[in-house]
Amino acid sequence: MVVGVHRPTQLVIDRQALRHNIQSEVSRLKAGCELFMVVKANGYGHGAAQVARVAKEAGASGFCVAILDEALELRAAGFNEPILVLGVTNPADAPLMAAQHISATVAATDWLEEAEHYLALRSAGEPLRVHLGLDTGMGRIGFRTPAELKTATDFIGDHAAALTFEGIFTHFSTADDPDDTYFKGQVAKWHELVDTLAQRPRYVHVSNSATSLWHDECNDNLVRFGAAGYGLNPSGWAIPQTPYQLEPAMSLTSELVYTKRLQAGQSVSYGATYTAQQDEWVGTVPIGYADGYERRLQGFHVLVDGHVCEIIGRVCMDQMMVRLPHDYPRGTRVTLVGQDGDQQITLQDVADYCDTIHYEVACGFTSRVPRHYIN
């Protein structure tokens, strides 16, 4: 999709907010504990390379991504730090990952066997660095028994030219829940597995944002820091207390491109689902569901000149209409996410209205919306 640089709709990313969140986290980690910034899905929509640059300045020593292409994007942008791919990759890409010093998540021994086959075909080259994923209750990927784990570590030990045991980790499914019953069960399962290792690898890690914010005694020597780095509370509203103020980095702004006086009885947008009860001013905003601004947001609101203005009628693919308190000049700023005067709309507010989580809203803005970096 082309980037809409000639349209006034943009995501504004505040680097200072990113810096504040990441620095605050780095400064509370125990000595010897590192932070890898999670920049999967284009840095949760904020721009992967831009976020990585700020994260590095703020004290991150590496990065996590979801897929190999995201790791290659960072390498192409000149980052030399460790990068861990959190998802399952294709074993045929093992030589590529090894050559690029990209670490692979491994969840099964047959993956190692297949990767070793491809790595053995090389005439020379460094071993592939692997992090063994343990499934302690997330139920997504990973080894689940000490026997499975031992088979994997033995295989790596027997194939040192191809494979290096660089890390071991697990992922918690309820670290953002005020009820820590299930969390504790996962911690116990983690120890049942990890404590059987004859030798600990370089990186031992369990913490996403929620774990590091609220269960930092579990951190070990690496934190995989995502949502909170972007200033988003990983629990939504569930646990409002955080060790430091989280500053949201993402705002979404546009402008009124057209205004009109609607007569009582006249309707707006597809399906004519909204009809004015009285004469009123209406503005058109150039954003729609093709930008990731969901159609379900009909009835939600934006800020115009510090006023809360309702989105009336259906959100179209590229445009939508809002009810104004009075007429405004074309070019008046519209805030869809962020602060205007003493009013604020957060990604959490948008997510609540759409019955989802801020993670989905943030990474749902499409590439048509330009990212503009400030501070």
Ligand X SMILES: *Cc1c(COP(=O)(O)O)cnc(C)c1O
Between CA 178 and CA 238 the distance in angstroms is 7
DSSP notation for 56-101: HHTT--EEEESSHHHHHHHHHTT--S-EEE-S---GGGHHHHHHTT
Report the residue number, 156 or 227, with the smaller CB distance to ligand X. 227
Interface with ligand X (CB under 6 A), residue from 224, 314, 358, 371 = 224
DSSP notation for 109-128: HHHHHHHHHHHHTSSS-PPE
**Is 333 known to sit in a ligand binding site?**
no
Of 229-258, binders to ligand X (CB under 6 A) are: 234
Between CA 45 and CA 237 the distance in angstroms is 21
How many CA atoms lie within 13 Å of 207's alpha carbon, on the beta-carbon side?
Answer: 26
- Tell me the closest approach of the beta carbon of residue 160 to ligand X, in angstroms: 26
Q: How far is CA 50 from CA 133, 196, 287, in A?
A: 28, 40, 24
**Is 53 known to sit in a ligand binding site?**
no
Interface with ligand X (CB under 6 A), residue from 136, 208, 259, 298 = 208
Provide the token pair at 29: 């980690």
- Catalytic-residue membership of 40: yes
136 binds ligand X (CB under 6 A): no
Catalytic residue among 30, 40, 182, 353: 40
Q: Of the candidates 206, 249, 181, 200, which has an alpha carbon nearest to the alpha carbon of residue 20? A: 249
Kindly report the CA angle at 97 between 96 and 99, in degrees rounded to 5?
65
Report the residue number, 91 or 234, with the smaller CB distance to ligand X. 234
Report the residue number, 63 or 165, with the smaller CB distance to ligand X. 63
Between CA 343 and CA 335 the distance in angstroms is 10
DSSP notation for 127-183: PEEEEEEE-SSS-SSSB-SHHHHHHHHHHHHHTTTTEEEEEEEE--SSTT-S--HHH
- Tell me the closest approach of the beta carbon of residue 97 to ligand X, in angstroms: 17
Q: Which residue is nearest to ligand X (CB)?
A: 226
Interface mask (CB under 6 A) for ligand X, residues 67-86, using x and -?
-------------------x
- Residue tagged 């907010």 (tokens): 17
- Tell me the closest approach of the beta carbon of residue 278 to ligand X, in angstroms: 46
Interface with ligand X (CB under 6 A), residue from 129, 159, 171, 301 = 171
Q: Read off the amino acid at residue 316.
A: C
Of 186-205, binders to ligand X (CB under 6 A) are: none
Interface with ligand X (CB under 6 A), residue from 163, 227, 246, 362 = 227
In the chain, the N- to C-terminal Cα span, in Å, equals 27
| Count of residues in contact with ligand X, rule CB under 6 A | 12
- Tell me the closest approach of the beta carbon of residue 364 to ligand X, in angstroms: 15
- 151-166 burial, b if ≥16 CB within 10 A, otherwise e? ebbebbeebeebbbbb
Catalytic residue among 30, 184, 258, 270: 270
Report the residue number, 67 or 290, with the smaller CB distance to ligand X. 67
- Tell me the closest approach of the beta carbon of residue 124 to ligand X, in angstroms: 32
Interface mask (CB under 6 A) for ligand X, residues 27-56, using x and -?
-----------x-x----------------
Interface with ligand X (CB under 6 A), residue from 45, 201, 226, 292 = 226
Which span sits near ligand X by CB under 6 A: 111-119, 191-199, 208-216, 325-333?
Answer: 208-216
- Tell me the closest approach of the beta carbon of residue 176 to ligand X, in angstroms: 7
Q: Which residues are annotated as a binding site for substrate?
A: 140, 317
Binding residues: 140, 317
In the complex, the residues that contact ligand X under the rule CB under 6 A are 38, 40, 86, 171, 208-210, 224-227, 234
Catalytically active residues are: 40, 270
